[in-house]
Amino acid sequence: MFYETLIHHALNKRLEGSPLSEEVKVSPAKLRHQTDAQELADVHAELEKNAEVKELIDTLFRDFEDAPLAEYWVTGMEMVEILRQNIHSLRTSNWTEFKSRGVNLVGR
């Protein structure tokens, strides 16, 4: 949920006052309001093919790469996610998952 919130906020900021077409600006709303799986897949495929959307996402992540504070928060979110997954593994007694998380953590 952390990632989704961060990306949602960043996209909203990027869309404010941007020269993008109205079709692209309303596209995220299309994804949120689809109830049929086929319609959702169609809208998603349409967005993946749109050059404006691709450029928007590329620019957004390029901006994050050059921002030390963004890197700090993303690293913190990754650590919280690993901790949450380890707690879940312990509570469900899933030792294989727990061990795999530990190996991933040590490899950093």
Give residue 103's pLDDT: 54
Give residue 100's pLDDT: 74
Show Cβ contacts of residue 65 under 8 Å, excluding neighbours closer than 6 positions: 71
* Total count of residues recorded for the chain: 108
Enumerate the domain spans of the chain: 1-66, 68-108
Give the mean pLDDT per block of 10 residues along the chain (108 residues). 70 72 73 76 82 79 75 82 85 80 54
Give residue 102's pLDDT: 58
> Would the pTM count as exceeding 0.85?
no
Contact between residue 20 and residue 56 where contact means Cβ atoms under 8 Å apart = yes
Cα distance between residue 33 and residue 24, in whole Å = 15
Contact between residue 10 and residue 56 where contact means Cβ atoms under 8 Å apart = no
Nearest to 60 by CA among 28, 108, 23: 28
